[in-house]
Amino acid sequence: MCGILAVLGCSDDSQAKRARHGDCFLAHQRLAIVDPASGDQPLYNEDETIVVTVNGEIYNHEELRKRLPGHRFRTGSDCEVIAHLYEEYGDGFVDMLDGIFSFVLLDTRDDSFIAARDAIGITPLYIGWGLEGSVWISSEMKGLKDDCKSFEAFPPGHMYTSKGGSHERWYNPPWYMEAIPSGPYDPLVLREAFEKAVLKRLMTDVPFGVLLSGGLDSSLVAAVISRHIAGTRAAEQWGTQLHSFCIGLEGSPDLKAAKDVAGHLGTVHHEFHLTVQDGIDAIEDVIYHTETYDVTTIRASTPMFLMSRKIKAMGVKMVISGEGSDELFGGYLYFHKAPNKEEFHRETCRKVKALHQYDCLRANKATSAWGLEARVPFLDKEFIDVAMGIDPEWKMIKPDLGRIEKWVLRKAFDDEAKPYLPKHILYRQKEQFSDGVGYGWIDGLKAHAAEHVSDKMMQHAEHIYPYNTPATKEAYYYRRIFERFFPQNSARSIVPGGPSVACSTALAVEWDAQWSKNVDPSGRAAVGVHSSAYDPTAPSLLDADAEHRMSEVKASGLTC
């Protein structure tokens, strides 16, 4: 991830700012993935009247350049098209961009500006306001917290214009209004759409790899790249053998499964180990970089943060990851209890809309803390249209028909003639990432928090933290660290309230009242429901090792 900061309408005449245009300042810290040699920012149009600073990747930039025959480009950067598109089409060009982005564009001809964030919020962005009337826009909260009277998350799929002075939604797909789709399920269409989404993310001029947990989503990403990498831009520079990376506690489910997948695909596999203490030692850094106190996000971000450091140390600057699939296809454990297709679909819509607060935030910030970029093909704009256009009846979990969670995705890649993955991987059950790295990880975090947060502290928690009051000692422990770094009211209000995701959401409680007793936000609470949905007489759906792991979890009492 690149870092961007724009101060617009500022009375400060300090020369410390990097690029000044009247009373506006644009700053950029680059993570160069495409055109490292000449793509430094800010970027301009021909006469430098349009100035833009961007954090992002525009995958269709070559196609867009063809629509701009009268324009002269200064660099090979994929992001330079933004300045020229604005000059040609005005602020209506944003929906033409296929990629991920957060940008600020300054038009010096009339001293106006626009800012925009990508459809799902894969790249982070925040907006704040100074007392003297300035508008601040930054890729991190840290860029605003000391200078803005108030600030907030910039909403995904929106644009902010100085002329309008407010946010306007530019991303308006049919699913956004949660209307129930009726499109047919065509496995081949779904497969081809995903392959296209993966391959366009091989636009890179630097070494890259894939994050491989051994679960369905990351394994499909790795399988598609391995099958189609020959002839791509990435292969021309870095060869056709894919590098894969996994992290976990010794003996963790992910390490075993990832090694299995890597062996099947023939990747150059890198296995990293961590201990519970390694993770605990990194918690403060993780909270500082991810800028959240959400429990599930911190649990999952910590192993990813530690793995990213090791990956970057190997010279790799970009990785492709599997985030977003569970939201699109209802892969979380509590979706087994969805009462009908209408409820199922509306919940997938809500999950996708909230990704910028959870998985996108984790994947982006845990990696970029070390100068590593994560790309997420499941959240490709075109692929989302295909996935969310399928009649949700096909996505429903129906054990009597042999349909487990994400069945439509599994079936799309269940190729008997030329298998993408072994059956036991293609039909491997869902693991929470924070559990997949080792079942002792969450328990170790809870034990550590219990040593540092007393019962008396919890007794008075609502007075110390009246907003989003921590419900557990682990949540209190994270909140206390967060408030040291970000004591502002604006900062604490940006983090979503209440229990996070998984089985603790209000809707899940409606689907099954027993989940209302759950205080811990982990999806572990639904493991019993999840495992019981499998037909024990159908061994092809679940390998013996997975059955053993599920029996261990149930025996440990890790339920609501």
Nearest to 87 by CA among 65, 64, 71, 100: 71
Place of tokens 């506690």: 249
- 99: annotated binding-site residue? no
Q: What is the dihedral angle through the alpha carbons of 332, 336, 342, 347, rounded to the nearest 10 degrees?
A: -20
Paired residues of 20 in beta bridges? 25
- 443: annotated binding-site residue? no
Residue 255 CA to residue 272 CA, distance in Å, equals: 9
Residue 26 CA to residue 10 CA, distance in Å, equals: 11
147: DSSP letter: T
- In this structure, are residues 229 and 256 in contact, taking their beta carbons and an 8 Å threshold? no
187: tokens are 């496995």
- 211: annotated binding-site residue? yes
- 122: annotated binding-site residue? no
Half-sphere exposure of 391 (CA within 13 A, CB side): 7
- Residues in Cβ contact with 531 at an 8 Å cutoff, skipping those fewer than 6 apart: 429, 547, 550, 554
In the set 2, 10, 246, 360, the catalytic residue is 2
- In this structure, are residues 380 and 388 in contact, taking their beta carbons and an 8 Å threshold? no
- In this structure, are residues 378 and 324 in contact, taking their beta carbons and an 8 Å threshold? yes
DSSP string, 91-121: GGGGGG--EEEEEEEEETTTTEEEEEE-SS-
Q: What is the dihedral angle through the alpha carbons of 489, 491, 492, 496, rounded to the nearest 10 degrees?
A: 130
- In this structure, are residues 36 and 158 in contact, taking their beta carbons and an 8 Å threshold? no
- In this structure, are residues 26 and 18 in contact, taking their beta carbons and an 8 Å threshold? yes
- Residues in Cβ contact with 424 at an 8 Å cutoff, skipping those fewer than 6 apart: 540, 542, 543, 546
Place of tokens 């790795």: 222
Residue 112 CA to residue 114 CA, distance in Å, equals: 7
- 361: annotated binding-site residue? no
2 counts as catalytic: yes
Q: Which residues are catalytic?
A: 2
Annotated binding site for L-glutamine: 78
Annotated binding site: 78, 211, 247, 321-322
Annotated binding site for ATP: 211, 247, 321-322
